[in-house]
Amino acid sequence: MQSTGVLFVAPRVVEVRQEQMADLKPDQVLVRTLISAISPGTEMLLYRGEFPADLPLDENLESLAGQATYPVKYGYSAIGEVIERGEAVDSEWIGKRVFAFQPHVSHFVVKPDALQVIPQEISEEDAAFLPNMETAVNFVMDGRPLIGENVILFGQGIVGLLTTALLAQYPLNNLITVDPFAIRRRASLDLGANISIESSDAVSMEQGIGLFKGSRFPGADLIYELTGNPQVLNHALEVCRFTGRIVIGSWYGKKQADLNLGGWFHRSRIQLISSQVSSINPEFSARWDKDRRFQVAWEMLSRVKPSRLITHRIPIREAGEAYRLVDQQPGETIQIILTY
């Protein structure tokens, strides 16, 4: 049997190829992919050639354990249906709607323990947001928002918007977001932000930062840097109040951060917190594991219903156009779904 998949062959070069699949082993199942979600953050690093070549794509996922060298398959949000089972697998798996951390391919073979069954009440399109929702849950856990705090998020891509949606459920004093694109700022307000500031406009940005320096907004208690641009960290430092927390959820790949850590920072006791979903904060590990965090992520998908953030549904044969849109016209896209 053949599978159709997306292959990154060079920076900004994507091909769709067919390849012969391995035979199904007794303890495996065959999944037919229905849709998969493009991650406009991490996948763009690979698409643009900004992924560090000395790191595995994801050492915690068997499907992505290889090095980031071209040509390579990537992607980690596949929604599918189990259509065949090995003789050692329970027949109840046939017909199950499942999520898997798999690259963008039309069919794949895995052991059942690599799959998560999609809860009945959650649509397939909402389920495609599971990896980014788990990431958003992790960001909120690491940031530990408190009642009455002023919170600002720099970056309203998919994970930024989902983090906004979760924070909007807290009794905060202010929840303010910053992003250069109007389509994302509108979505941010729809998900519960009080104010959304245009970061591409220097005047608007200065006025927005000024909000945090006035008497009404004496500074941000908690800040999330989710833009993928390390220079934004300096804006975060500028508006963070004494002993505030800055959660750095961006992964910059090869990009370097030139930070102003002189002056105020030295006396501020500001915490810079690295947050990444592949692990759980050791302070929580006695009570939390990844299964518990996934349970919360599924519940949040049911509440937020993020499929409303899908702006494009593109057939896999046109995957190159999908990545070109994300790369060159980010102001027109939020979430792109590949269909099969």
Find the range with the poorest average confidence among 26-35, 225-234, 325-334. Answer: 225-234
Q: Please report, in angstroms and rounded to a whole number, the separation of the first and last CA atoms in the chain.
A: 16
Q: Can you tell me the mean pLDDT for 1-29?
A: 95
- Residue 129: pLDDT above 60? yes
- Residue 132: pLDDT above 60? yes
Q: How far is CA 77 from CA 64, 124, 139, 207, 217, in A?
A: 12, 11, 19, 38, 39
SS (H, E, C) the chain: CEEEEEEEEECCEEEEEEEECCCCCCCCEEEEEEEEECCCCHHHHHHCCCCCCCCECCCCCHHHCCECCCCECCCCCEEEEEEEECCCCCHHHCCCEEEECCCCECEEEECHHHCEECCCCCCHHHHCCHHHHHHHHHHHHHHCCCCCCEEEEECCCHHHHHHHHHHCCCCCCEEEEEECCHHHHHHHHHCCCCEEEECCCHHHHHHHHHHCCCCCCCCEEEEEECCCCCCHHHHHHHHEEEEEEEEECCCCCCCCCCCCCCCHHHHHCCEEEECCCCCCCCCCCCCCCHHHHHHHHHHHHHHHCHHHHEEEEEEHHHHHHHHHHHHHCHHHCCEEEEEC
CA 204 to chain centre: 27
Q: Can you tell me the mean pLDDT for 222-239?
A: 90
**Tokens, residue 333:** 């896209």
- 74-127 pLDDT per residue, tens: 999 999 999 999 999 999 999 999 999 999 999 999 999 999 999 999 999 999
Domain ranges across the chain: 2-123+305-339, 134-274
| Residue 149 and residue 222 in contact, taking contact as beta carbons nearer than 8 Å | yes
- Residue 207: pLDDT above 60? yes
User: Which pLDDT belongs to residue 201?
Assistant: 62
pLDDT band at 212 (very low <50, low <70, confident <90, very high): low
**Class for the domain spanning 2-123+305-339:** alpha beta
What proportion of the chain, given as a percentage, has pLDDT over 90?
A: 74
User: Which pLDDT belongs to residue 215?
Assistant: 47
User: Which pLDDT belongs to residue 116?
Assistant: 98
Same fold for the pair 2-123+305-339 and 134-274? no
- Residue 14: pLDDT above 60? yes
- Residue 59: pLDDT above 70? no
Q: Can you tell me the mean pLDDT for 236-249?
A: 91
Burial of 308 (0-12, 13-18, 19+ CB in 10 A): middle
Find the range with the poorest average confidence among 202-206, 271-275, 283-287. Answer: 202-206
Q: How far is CA 136 from CA 31, 99, 129, 303, in A?
A: 27, 18, 10, 14
User: Which pLDDT belongs to residue 234?
Assistant: 87
What mean pLDDT, rounded, does the chain reach? 91
| pTM of the entire predicted model | 0.91
Level-2 CATH architecture, domain 134-274: 3-Layer(aba) Sandwich (3.40)
Q: Can you tell me the mean pLDDT for 232-256?
A: 88
Of residues 53 and 159, more confidently modeled: 159
User: Which pLDDT belongs to residue 307?
Assistant: 98
Residue 139's CB is within 10 A of a number of other CB atoms, namely 25
